[in-house]
Amino acid sequence: MKRQLARFFSQKLYIELSVAFILFAVALVLDMLMDFIIYMLYFIIFLEIVRAVVNYIREQRVVMSLLVDAFIILALRELIVNVVKVNQEELSSIEQIFSSAVNYNIFILSGVIVFLFMVRYFAVKTSQRYIFGRKEGSD
């Protein structure tokens, strides 16, 4: 029994699935699923910013990918709030995007997310670790 319990906790996937299931069940029972998602995204944003600050203090350089990750999560959180909580209008044509402030906001946030994903891609491709790792592999 002890060995099975130790093996269960040594595999992180089961722990993650268990925690996710418990949080999901609690959110469903309390009828707060969107609130749970929004607050978890806030927590992830906070973690990414703390990681960026600690990395700056330790290495004296800013890792762009950490900051871009935080901004992507922030933009996704804003998009979720606008789509699920605020938006009460239908979107059946392109003209309706520009006729409603909420739909226009969703349209802009979608563009920001696409832009941030491109910045994230270029931040990874131009990072020192990626460039130096590629040069070492070619020798």
pLDDT tens string 48-96: 888 888 888 998 877 777 778 888 888 888 887 777 766 666 667 667 6
pLDDT at residue 4 above 80?
no
Is the pLDDT at 99 greater than 50, yes or no?
Answer: yes
Q: What pLDDT does 29 receive?
A: 92
Q: Give the pLDDT mean for 17-38.
A: 87
Q: What is the pLDDT of the chain when averaged over all its residues?
A: 78
Tell me the two tokens of residue 49.
Answer: 């910013």
Q: How far is CA 47 from CA 27, 43, 65, in A?
A: 22, 6, 13
Q: Which two tokens stand for residue 104?
A: 């226009």
Q: Which residue has the higher pLDDT, 14 or 60?
A: 60
pTM for the full predicted model: 0.60
Tell me which DSSP letter residue 126 carries.
T
Euclidean distance between CA atoms 58 and 64, whole angstroms: 15
The two tokens of residue 69 are 């990750």
Q: How confident is the model at residue 139 (pLDDT cuts 50, 70, 90)?
A: very low
Q: Are 76 and 113 in contact (CB under 8 A)?
A: yes
How far apart CA 72 and CA 62 sit, in angstroms, is 17
CA distances to 5, 65, 99, 112 from 93, rounded to whole Å, are: 55, 36, 10, 21
Other CB atoms within 10 A of residue 92 CB: 7
